[in-house]
Amino acid sequence: MQSEKEALEAQVKTAEGRVDALSSNLANYKTSYGKLVEQSKNNLGNLNGQIAQHKAEIATLTSERDALRKQLAESGASGGVELVALQEKLAKVEAEKTKLEGEKNALEQKLATTPTAPAATGNGDADTVR
């Protein structure tokens, strides 16, 4: 009987040792978990700060974009008048160019149909001249 009791006491001590070890492990896990939770909260706070910063940058850029669009629209209205004037000037230049090309072609054709005459060289040779 004594040996049975001693055997049971030994089993109890072994079980208590395992329970103590598991309790210690559990405490370590709780501490680690607490640290991870705290780190996650800090990371989340940092990420929320970055998100807020990016939102502010987006708002600034959107405002700048809208101002540039407005400026472009306003300059486009006055630029349109300048564009029309330039187009009219270009049309006049093109018309003048076409007129001069026509005159050039007429002169070239007249030159091509002009009969050739001998040129006086003073030495009695006759060279053809247009």
Residue 96 vs residue 82, higher pLDDT: 96
Q: How far apart, in whole angstroms, are the C-alpha atoms of residue 63 and residue 53?
A: 15
Residue 53 vs residue 116, higher pLDDT: 53
The pTM score is: 0.43
| pLDDT one-digit tens code per residue, 3-47 | 888 999 999 999 999 999 999 999 999 999 999 999 988 888 888
Residue 5 vs residue 78, higher pLDDT: 5
State the DSSP H helix or E strand holding residue 60, giving kind and residue range, or none if neither. helix 2-113
User: Is residue 80 exposed (0-12), middle (13-18) or buried (19+ Cβ within 10 Å)?
Assistant: exposed
Q: How far apart, in whole angstroms, are the C-alpha atoms of residue 37 and residue 79?
A: 61
Q: How far apart, in whole angstroms, are the C-alpha atoms of residue 62 and residue 29?
A: 48
